[in-house]
Amino acid sequence: MAVATELEADRNLLLTVAEAQSEHRWYYEQVRLGSFPAFSLLRRDGVIVAAEGAIDTQNNNTYGIRIDLTNFPYALPKPFPRGWALHPDVPHKYNDGSLCIMRSAQWRTNFTIAFVVAKTAIWLAKYEIWKRNGHVWPGKHQRH
């Protein structure tokens, strides 16, 4: 089975090369994050360190999420549950408790925090299916 290495994304969730390299990147990030008004950027000592918010699923569940932005945009941000616990047997999570929304080798610096929120929403939809269908993860899989 071939493993995909590149991801496709809605252009509204990506930055142009100029935006990604701009000194105003955080402005462009905030604009893109506007697609998810429940999310906001969090600062510590004047530095943006995380994004936090909630995602509503089609099953009328709401999941709090905190996205760790350590080394952003050069490293894959890590979405963590906030205010709820993952099922202990769930696949597609890392040992630190973060959700595996994609492989770190697939991360590109023009991906945005809004892109991470969108990928997290997809993960949550699959998680709810997994919980209902006897613990079979739906869709394609990639090795971690």
Q: Tens place of pLDDT for every residue, the chain, 144 residues?
A: 344 445 567 888 999 999 999 999 999 999 999 999 999 999 999 999 999 999 999 999 999 999 999 999 999 999 999 999 999 999 999 999 999 999 999 999 999 999 999 999 999 999 999 999 999 999 887 776
Q: Alpha helices, DSSP H only, in the chain?
A: 17-21, 25-33, 113-132
Which residues make Cβ contacts (< 8 Å) with residue 84, sequence separation at least 6? 63, 64
Provide the residue ranges of all domains of the chain, joining segments of one domain with +: 17-132
pTM summary value: 0.92
The DSSP secondary-structure symbol of 94 reads -
Query: What superfamily would CATH give domain 17-132?
Result: Ubiquitin Conjugating Enzyme (3.10.110.10)
Question: Do residues 50 and 66 make contact, with C-beta atoms less than 8 angstroms apart?
Answer: yes
Question: Do residues 51 and 42 make contact, with C-beta atoms less than 8 angstroms apart?
Answer: yes
